[in-house]
């Protein structure tokens, strides 16, 4: 064997020894890291499966409760909805709370229904659901004719940018009509009709309200006054020009 071949074999053996030594030192860490990655993936997949499984169970329970709520067995429906509220996942518990509150309204328990909606609003972090709960609470109280209670819940929504502004105006108009405030009720309904975002169905319904109010003697709300001329504007020259000779 030539010297070059001998030197090459010795180098290869030394490199092999160094690799074995390196593996003995770092191998456990590499294996541990690989196991950790596999476990992380498994946990993530397991969590996703658990969430999906829970959501599916919550959906089944919620829709079964809705079937009961649409029937005549209100106690059974309430019990089923209570179970979804206690054990459900995702958005199903809050949806069950809304439906349970509506059952109270259907049963004529107006104050209890309003209190249930108010409780949802007080505990809900989602601003849209919170506002919706207050609107439903206001609508539940319309038949009582208590204008102050309805105003307390929805007056803040009657701004041009709020998506529930016309529902709030409708609740305010209805409770004012119930309270005998015909002119104020018509003003709220006219504001809905003048809103360019109002749907055709809403316009048709509110138009009927307005016609009824007119028949009962409600006055037309005042038109917005024309903008006044700027204070520093020069007055118009009303002097007639001299006749040409």
Reading phi first (left if > 0) and then psi (alpha if -120 to 50, else beta), residue 89 is in beta
Chain mean position to CA 62: 19
pTM tops 0.75, yes or no: no
Other CB atoms within 10 A of residue 210 CB: 18
Dihedral sign for Cα atoms in the order 83, 89, 94, 96: negative
Tokens of 96: 């069950």
The CATH class that applies to domain 114-220 reads mainly alpha
pLDDT at position 8: 54
pLDDT at position 74: 83
Which tens digits make up the pLDDT trace of 127-177? 999 999 999 999 999 999 999 999 999 999 999 899 999 999 999 999 999
Q: Where are the domains of the chain?
A: 7-107, 114-220
Q: Which H/E stretch holds residue 132?
A: helix 127-140
Which of 10-24, 51-65, 179-193 has the highest average model confidence (pLDDT)?
179-193
């Amino acid at each position: 064997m030539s010297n070059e071949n001998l030197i090459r074999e010795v180098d290869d053996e030394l490199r092999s020894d160094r690799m074995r030594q390196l593996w003995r030192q770092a191998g456990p860490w590499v294996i541990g890291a690989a196991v950790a990655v596999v476990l992380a993936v498994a946990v993530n997949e397991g969590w996703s499966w658990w969430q999906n499984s829970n959501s599916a169970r919550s959906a089944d329970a919620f829709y079964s409760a809705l079937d009961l709520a649409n029937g005549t067995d209100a106690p059974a429906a309430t019990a089923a909805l209570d179970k979804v509220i206690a054990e459900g996942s995702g958005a199903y518990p809050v949806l069950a709370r809304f439906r349970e509150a509506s059952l109270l309204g259907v049963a004529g328990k107006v104050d209890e229904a309003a209190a249930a909606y108010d409780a949802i609003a007080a505990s809900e972090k989602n601003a849209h659901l919170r506002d919706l709960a207050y609107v439903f609470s206001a609508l539940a109280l319309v038949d009582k004719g208590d204008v102050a209670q309805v105003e307390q819940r929805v007056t803040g929504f009657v701004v041009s940018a709020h998506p529930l502004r016309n529902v709030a105006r409708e609740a305010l108009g209805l409770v004012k009509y119930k309270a005998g405030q015909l002119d104020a009720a018509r003003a709220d309904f006219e504001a809905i009709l003048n809103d360019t975002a109002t749907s055709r169905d809403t316009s048709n319904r509110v138009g009927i309200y307005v016609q009824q109010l007119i028949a009962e003697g409600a006055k037309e709300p005042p038109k917005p006054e024309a903008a006044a001329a700027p204070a520093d504007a020069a007055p118009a020259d009303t002097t007639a020009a001299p006749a040409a000779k």
